[in-house]
Homo-oligomer: A and B are copies of this chain.
Amino acid sequence: MKRLDLIFGERELTAMLESLEAVEVPGYTVMKHVTGRGPERVVSEDMEFTGLGANAHVIVFCEEIMLEKIKNKIEPLLNYYGGVAYVSEATPL
């Protein structure tokens, strides 16, 4: 099994989850109110109230073969709005 970590703007969360559902991931976990810095911008907690939102961190545990499908679906979103996606190994306990 693989673990996919997605970090991107909270305002794109709905679109991102819809993409994940579209490729029928077995499940996902969402952490909101995440902040950080990437090559493009600084996301800080104190700006949350403005509606700009913080980042969301989404974790997906899934089979390796699913990754390609996910990639195709979410790459446009990540390219347009920014965000990162990393894959690691994971085995069920």
List the B side residues contacting A31 at CB < 8 Å. Answer: 31, 33-34, 57
Cα separation A67 to B36 with both chains bound (whole Å): 19
Interface size on A, residues (CB 8 A): 37
* A26 and B39 contact, CB distance less than 8 A: yes
Instruction: Write the A1-30 contact mask toward B (1 if CB under 8 angstroms, else 0).
Output: 101110100000000000000000011111
Please, could you name 18 A-B residue pairs with CB atoms under 8 Å apart, sorted by A?
Answer: A1-B86, A3-B5, A26-B38, A27-B37, A27-B38, A28-B37, A29-B35, A31-B34, A33-B33, A61-B86, A67-B93, A70-B93, A86-B91, A86-B92, A87-B91, A87-B93, A88-B88, A89-B89
